[in-house]
Amino acid sequence: MNLKQRIQCGLMALLLSVAPLISAENTASDKLTIFVQTVVTFKAKFEQNVLDAQGETLEQAQGQFVLERPGKFRWDYYQPYPQHIVADGEHIWFYDVDLEQVTVKSQKEALTSTPATLLSGEILPTEKYFVSDIASDDGLSWVRLVPKDIESNFQTVSLAFEGNELRQMLMKDSFDQLTQLVFSEGQENVTLAAKEFVFIPPEGVDVVGDANQ
């Protein structure tokens, strides 16, 4: 093999080694689709910040988020006030521990126009949103979703991925209020106990709504 042939072989080997890396560089919108289609269960801690239109912090909270597709999830708020939101696939339960009150609603009706359907896996993002990648300088891959329904309660929903792992979710509502969720210690496709998504109202609390609807 002469020098020219050796150079050509070396270049071919280099291209073949680089090709998988190029194909692995998915866009943020690709990562969202992969997350929705391949992550069956997800568990993570979260920090939540609610900001007004001027960027002033209105609320801060911490807790744990657990998801099982399709259609089951729970948000357990521990700080500053204990609250639990549990979706069992048919109903969604809101339990305010301090108020000793549980509100139950039909899950389909309660979540129709909310970003919760994004992570629940019941739809593909492109079915209800215009999806576009957005530039950032924070090292994360960001994708923005604009609802196709002009009567939606939210103007935009943005998600950030580090690699293929979900790290943040930003939701801007019709009043320009921004809710930021920062996820940490995320675990994908872990085994979850069935009781994670079973909610039984504690004795003595008021129950508002109809679990049979």
Give the residue carrying structure tokens 């002469």: 2
> Quick count: other Cβ atoms within 10 Å of Cβ 197?
19
Mean of pLDDT over the chain: 84
pLDDT recorded at residue 17: 34
pLDDT recorded at residue 36: 87
pLDDT recorded at residue 115: 73
**Mean local confidence (pLDDT), 178-186:** 95
pLDDT of 14 > 60? The answer is: no
- Cβ–Cβ under 8 Å, residues 93 and 86: yes
pLDDT recorded at residue 151: 81
| Distance, CA of 179 to CA of 27 (rounded, Å) | 24
Higher pLDDT, 173 or 121: 173
CATH number for the domain whose boundaries are 26-205 = 2.50.20.10
Helix (H, G, I), strand (E, B) or coil at 136: coil
Contacts of residue 98, Cβ cutoff 8 Å, sequence gap at least 6 = 81, 82
| Distance, CA of 66 to CA of 77 (rounded, Å) | 12
| Distance, CA of 207 to CA of 213 (rounded, Å) | 14
Label residue 7 by pLDDT band (50, 70, 90).
very low
Identify the H or E element spanning 65: strand 57-68
**Mean local confidence (pLDDT), 39-49:** 95
pLDDT recorded at residue 101: 97
**Mean local confidence (pLDDT), 56-71:** 93
- Cβ–Cβ under 8 Å, residues 59 and 51: no
pLDDT of 213 > 80? The answer is: no
Quick: pLDDT tens for 77-125: 999 999 999 999 899 999 999 999 999 999 888 776 677 677 776 677 8
pLDDT of 22 > 60? The answer is: no
pLDDT of 24 > 80? The answer is: no
pLDDT recorded at residue 1: 54
pLDDT recorded at residue 150: 83
Helix (H, G, I), strand (E, B) or coil at 98: coil
Label residue 172 by pLDDT band (50, 70, 90).
very high
Contacts 24+ apart (CB under 8 A), 101-110: 101/205, 101/206, 101/207, 101/208, 102/201, 102/205, 102/206, 102/207, 102/208, 103/207, 103/208, 103/209, 104/207, 104/208, 104/209, 104/210, 104/211, 105/209, 106/213, 107/71
pLDDT of 126 > 80? The answer is: yes
pLDDT recorded at residue 124: 79
